[in-house]
Protein backbone atom coordinates (compact mmCIF):
# COMPACT_ATOMS: atom_id res chain seq x y z
CA UNK A 1 0.00 0.00 0.00
CA UNK A 2 1.14 3.51 -0.57
CA UNK A 3 1.43 6.74 1.28
CA UNK A 4 -0.32 9.25 -0.91
CA UNK A 5 0.49 12.89 -1.33
CA UNK A 6 -1.77 15.52 -2.79
CA UNK A 7 -0.08 18.61 -4.04
CA UNK A 8 -0.96 21.85 -5.75
CA UNK A 9 0.63 22.66 -9.06
CA UNK A 10 0.27 25.41 -11.62
CA UNK A 11 1.21 25.59 -15.28
CA UNK A 12 4.82 26.55 -15.82
CA UNK A 13 6.17 29.87 -16.97
CA UNK A 14 3.71 31.84 -14.93
CA UNK A 15 3.74 35.52 -15.86
CA UNK A 16 3.27 36.71 -12.29
CA UNK A 17 5.83 39.36 -11.48
CA UNK A 18 7.30 38.94 -8.02
CA UNK A 19 6.34 42.40 -6.82
CA UNK A 20 2.82 42.30 -8.24
CA UNK A 21 -0.10 41.62 -5.92
CA UNK A 22 -1.57 38.16 -6.36
CA UNK A 23 -4.32 37.25 -6.73
CA UNK A 24 -6.27 40.24 -8.00
CA UNK A 25 -9.19 38.13 -9.26
CA UNK A 26 -10.68 34.67 -8.61
CA UNK A 27 -8.46 31.61 -9.12
CA UNK A 28 -9.71 28.36 -10.62
CA UNK A 29 -8.61 25.27 -8.71
CA UNK A 30 -9.04 22.21 -10.93
CA UNK A 31 -9.89 18.96 -9.16
CA UNK A 32 -9.31 16.13 -11.64
CA UNK A 33 -11.92 13.86 -10.04
CA UNK A 34 -15.64 13.97 -9.23
CA UNK A 35 -17.01 15.95 -6.29
CA UNK A 36 -17.17 14.19 -2.93
CA UNK A 37 -13.93 12.21 -3.19
CA UNK A 38 -10.68 12.72 -1.25
CA UNK A 39 -9.05 15.00 -3.84
CA UNK A 40 -12.15 17.15 -3.95
CA UNK A 41 -12.44 17.40 -0.17
CA UNK A 42 -8.75 18.26 0.28
CA UNK A 43 -9.01 20.87 -2.49
CA UNK A 44 -12.11 22.47 -0.99
CA UNK A 45 -10.53 22.76 2.45
CA UNK A 46 -7.35 24.20 0.92
CA UNK A 47 -9.24 26.51 -1.43
CA UNK A 48 -11.37 27.88 1.39
CA UNK A 49 -8.24 28.65 3.39
CA UNK A 50 -6.63 30.41 0.44
CA UNK A 51 -9.80 32.41 -0.19
CA UNK A 52 -9.80 33.60 3.41
CA UNK A 53 -6.12 34.39 3.68
CA UNK A 54 -5.53 35.79 0.18
CA UNK A 55 -8.80 37.69 -0.15
CA UNK A 56 -9.88 36.22 -3.49
CA UNK A 57 -12.20 33.34 -4.33
CA UNK A 58 -10.52 30.00 -5.12
CA UNK A 59 -13.19 28.30 -7.20
CA UNK A 60 -13.05 24.51 -7.36
CA UNK A 61 -13.82 23.09 -10.79
CA UNK A 62 -14.24 19.31 -11.07
CA UNK A 63 -12.87 18.12 -14.43
CA UNK A 64 -13.03 14.34 -14.09
CA UNK A 65 -12.05 11.49 -16.40
CA UNK A 66 -9.25 9.11 -17.40
CA UNK A 67 -7.89 8.62 -13.88
CA UNK A 68 -7.44 12.36 -13.34
CA UNK A 69 -5.48 13.01 -16.53
CA UNK A 70 -8.35 14.87 -18.24
CA UNK A 71 -8.41 17.62 -15.60
CA UNK A 72 -4.64 17.92 -15.40
CA UNK A 73 -4.45 18.16 -19.21
CA UNK A 74 -7.01 20.98 -19.07
CA UNK A 75 -4.90 22.76 -16.46
CA UNK A 76 -1.66 22.23 -18.37
CA UNK A 77 -3.23 23.89 -21.40
CA UNK A 78 -4.65 26.85 -19.47
CA UNK A 79 -3.06 30.28 -19.69
CA UNK A 80 0.02 30.05 -17.42
CA UNK A 81 -0.79 33.17 -15.46
CA UNK A 82 -1.30 31.64 -12.01
CA UNK A 83 -5.09 31.86 -12.20
CA UNK A 84 -5.57 28.17 -13.00
CA UNK A 85 -4.05 25.80 -10.49
CA UNK A 86 -4.56 22.06 -10.01
CA UNK A 87 -4.72 19.54 -7.22
CA UNK A 88 -2.52 16.74 -8.49
CA UNK A 89 -1.45 13.58 -6.71
CA UNK A 90 0.72 10.48 -7.09
CA UNK A 91 -1.64 9.16 -9.76
CA UNK A 92 -1.81 12.21 -12.02
CA UNK A 93 1.86 13.16 -11.63
CA UNK A 94 3.44 9.81 -10.83
CA UNK A 95 1.64 6.81 -12.29
CA UNK A 96 -0.02 8.40 -15.34
CA UNK A 97 3.08 8.67 -17.57
CA UNK A 98 3.65 4.93 -17.19
CA UNK A 99 0.05 4.06 -18.00
CA UNK A 100 -0.98 6.55 -20.72
CA UNK A 101 1.08 6.30 -23.92
CA UNK A 102 -0.33 9.57 -25.27
CA UNK A 103 -0.36 11.65 -22.11
CA UNK A 104 -0.62 15.31 -23.15
CA UNK A 105 1.48 16.69 -20.32
CA UNK A 106 4.87 16.14 -18.78
CA UNK A 107 4.50 16.03 -14.97
CA UNK A 108 8.00 17.43 -14.48
CA UNK A 109 8.35 19.98 -17.27
CA UNK A 110 4.85 21.42 -17.58
CA UNK A 111 4.13 22.43 -13.98
CA UNK A 112 5.47 24.48 -11.15
CA UNK A 113 4.84 22.84 -7.77
CA UNK A 114 3.23 25.15 -5.21
CA UNK A 115 3.40 22.81 -2.26
CA UNK A 116 2.41 19.57 -0.64
CA UNK A 117 -1.05 19.68 0.82
CA UNK A 118 -1.75 16.30 2.39
CA UNK A 119 -0.28 12.87 2.98
CA UNK A 120 -3.03 10.32 3.36
CA UNK A 121 -2.98 6.65 4.38
CA UNK A 122 -4.98 4.16 2.33
CA UNK A 123 -7.78 1.97 3.66
CA UNK A 124 -9.05 -1.26 2.17
CA UNK A 125 -12.81 -1.00 2.59
CA UNK A 126 -15.72 -3.24 1.66
CA UNK A 127 -19.50 -3.02 1.57
CA UNK A 128 -20.89 -3.56 5.04
CA UNK A 129 -22.30 -7.01 4.34
CA UNK A 130 -19.33 -8.35 2.38
CA UNK A 131 -19.00 -11.95 3.62
CA UNK A 132 -15.54 -11.72 5.22
CA UNK A 133 -15.04 -10.93 8.90
CA UNK A 134 -11.33 -10.07 8.75
CA UNK A 135 -8.39 -9.50 6.38
CA UNK A 136 -7.63 -13.22 6.12
CA UNK A 137 -11.18 -14.05 5.05
CA UNK A 138 -11.20 -11.05 2.71
CA UNK A 139 -8.05 -12.32 0.95
CA UNK A 140 -9.60 -15.78 0.68
CA UNK A 141 -12.64 -14.24 -1.05
CA UNK A 142 -10.42 -12.35 -3.49
CA UNK A 143 -8.70 -15.62 -4.35
CA UNK A 144 -11.99 -17.43 -4.96
CA UNK A 145 -13.10 -16.96 -8.59
CA UNK A 146 -16.59 -18.17 -7.70
CA UNK A 147 -17.01 -15.15 -5.38
CA UNK A 148 -16.81 -12.80 -8.42
CA UNK A 149 -15.52 -9.97 -6.24
CA UNK A 150 -16.06 -6.53 -7.77
CA UNK A 151 -13.57 -3.75 -7.07
CA UNK A 152 -14.20 -0.02 -7.60
CA UNK A 153 -11.57 2.54 -8.58
CA UNK A 154 -11.31 6.09 -9.91
CA UNK A 155 -9.90 5.28 -13.34
CA UNK A 156 -6.67 3.83 -14.67
CA UNK A 157 -3.72 5.48 -12.94
CA UNK A 158 -5.70 6.86 -10.01
CA UNK A 159 -4.48 6.09 -6.51
CA UNK A 160 -7.38 3.72 -5.84
CA UNK A 161 -6.45 1.92 -9.08
CA UNK A 162 -2.71 1.63 -8.41
CA UNK A 163 -3.02 0.60 -4.76
CA UNK A 164 -5.62 -2.09 -5.41
CA UNK A 165 -3.61 -3.23 -8.45
CA UNK A 166 -0.59 -3.63 -6.17
CA UNK A 167 -2.71 -5.66 -3.75
CA UNK A 168 -4.23 -7.95 -6.37
CA UNK A 169 -0.94 -8.44 -8.21
CA UNK A 170 0.77 -9.42 -4.96
CA UNK A 171 -2.02 -11.91 -4.33
CA UNK A 172 -1.94 -13.08 -7.95
CA UNK A 173 -5.67 -12.52 -8.48
CA UNK A 174 -7.81 -10.68 -11.00
CA UNK A 175 -11.04 -9.01 -9.92
CA UNK A 176 -13.93 -7.62 -11.86
CA UNK A 177 -13.31 -3.86 -11.82
CA UNK A 178 -15.63 -0.88 -12.11
CA UNK A 179 -14.11 2.49 -13.06
CA UNK A 180 -15.65 5.70 -11.75
CA UNK A 181 -14.90 9.39 -12.31
CA UNK A 182 -13.70 9.60 -8.72
CA UNK A 183 -13.99 7.63 -5.51
CA UNK A 184 -16.78 9.93 -4.27
CA UNK A 185 -19.26 8.23 -6.63
CA UNK A 186 -17.50 4.88 -6.07
CA UNK A 187 -18.09 5.23 -2.32
CA UNK A 188 -21.81 5.83 -2.94
CA UNK A 189 -21.98 2.55 -4.85
CA UNK A 190 -19.97 0.76 -2.15
CA UNK A 191 -22.46 1.96 0.45
CA UNK A 192 -25.29 0.91 -1.87
CA UNK A 193 -23.73 -2.55 -2.31
CA UNK A 194 -23.28 -2.33 -6.12
CA UNK A 195 -19.53 -3.00 -5.73
CA UNK A 196 -17.66 -5.07 -3.13
CA UNK A 197 -14.51 -3.17 -2.16
CA UNK A 198 -11.97 -0.49 -2.93
CA UNK A 199 -8.59 0.83 -1.75
CA UNK A 200 -8.78 4.55 -1.18
CA UNK A 201 -7.46 7.53 0.73
CA UNK A 202 -8.80 7.66 4.25
CA UNK A 203 -10.19 11.20 3.92
CA UNK A 204 -13.90 10.49 3.51
CA UNK A 205 -13.96 6.88 4.69
CA UNK A 206 -13.56 7.26 8.45
CA UNK A 207 -17.06 8.52 9.15
CA UNK A 208 -18.59 5.79 6.99
CA UNK A 209 -16.57 3.08 8.75
CA UNK A 210 -17.49 4.50 12.17
CA UNK A 211 -21.15 4.72 11.15
CA UNK A 212 -21.11 1.11 9.90
CA UNK A 213 -22.16 1.85 6.30
CA UNK A 214 -18.91 0.22 5.08
CA UNK A 215 -16.19 -1.81 6.83
CA UNK A 216 -12.39 -1.57 6.80
CA UNK A 217 -9.92 -4.46 6.69
CA UNK A 218 -6.54 -2.75 6.60
CA UNK A 219 -4.75 0.58 6.65
CA UNK A 220 -1.42 1.53 5.12
CA UNK A 221 1.26 2.80 7.45
CA UNK A 222 2.80 5.95 5.98
Question: What ranges in 62-201 are assigned the alpha helix state H?
Answer: 69-76, 90, 96-99, 135-142, 159-171, 183-192
**Contact between 28 and ligand ASP (CB under 6 A)?**
no
Give DSSP secondary structure letters for 200-215. Answer: EESTTTHHHHHHTSEE
Least separation in angstroms between CB 183 and ligand ASP = 4
Nearer to ligand ASP, 151 or 158 (CB): 158
Which range, of 103-111, 128-136, 156-164, 209-217, touches ligand ASP by CB under 6 A? 156-164
Contact 50, 136 (CB under 8 A): no
**Contact between 200 and ligand ASP (CB under 6 A)?**
yes
**Contact between 110 and ligand ASP (CB under 6 A)?**
no
Least separation in angstroms between CB 6 and ligand ASP = 8
**Contact between 62 and ligand ASP (CB under 6 A)?**
no
- The beta strand positions in 57-137, using DSSP E, are 58-62, 84-89, 111-120, 122-127
**Contact between 184 and ligand ASP (CB under 6 A)?**
yes
Contact 2, 107 (CB under 8 A): no
Contacting positions for ligand ASP (CB under 6 A): 33-34, 37-40, 91, 154, 158-160, 182-184, 200-201
Amino acid sequence: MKHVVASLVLSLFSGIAAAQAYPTRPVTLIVPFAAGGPTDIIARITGEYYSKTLGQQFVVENVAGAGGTTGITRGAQAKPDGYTIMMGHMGTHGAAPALYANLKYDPVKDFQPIGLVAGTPILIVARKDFPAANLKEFVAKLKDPAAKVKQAHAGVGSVSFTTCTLLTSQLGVKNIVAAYRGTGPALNDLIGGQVDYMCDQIVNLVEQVKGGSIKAYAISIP
